[in-house]
Amino acid sequence: MVSGPRLGRILTGRDPEGKGASVVGVDLFFWFVYKFPEQAQRKAELEQAFAALSEWKVTLLVGDVPLLKSEGLKHRPTVAELEELNAMITTWAAKHPRVHVLPFAETLTRM
């Protein structure tokens, strides 16, 4: 187990023993998309997440965001909105060699 302060140093590349570390956050962006009711707010929150994650010096595995049709979800994006948000994720990841986007949406459709 890694302490909170040390984890921060590993993520930002300030802990030499953390070299080669990886973080898996397959559902990380899901929470930014389904938490907010308006597309502008979702986009703004994703941009803030991208800025923070861009400082991390570890390999980061994230997932794209699936379209969920559950009636229990309060804030569901439209198909077009979700496509726009997933495009933002893949565009951001393409600029960061240590970031890899896993097909979370496709995986969930197979389940």
% of the chain with per-residue pLDDT over 70: 83
Q: What confidence score (pLDDT) does residue 89 get? A: 97
pLDDT at 108: 77
Q: Is the pLDDT reported for residue 1 higher than 60?
A: no
pLDDT at residue 55 greater than cutoff 80 = yes
DSSP state of 78: P
Three-state SS at 97:
coil
Using CA atoms, how far apart are residues 35 and 53, in angstroms rounded to an integer?
19
Query: Strand ranges (DSSP E) for 1-111?
Result: 22-25, 59-63, 99-102
| pTM assigned to the model | 0.82
Residue 48 banded pLDDT, cuts 50, 70, 90: very high
Spatial separation of the C-alpha atoms in residues 45 and 32, rounded to whole Å: 6
Q: Report the alpha-carbon distance of residue 29 to residue 47 in Å, rounded.
A: 11
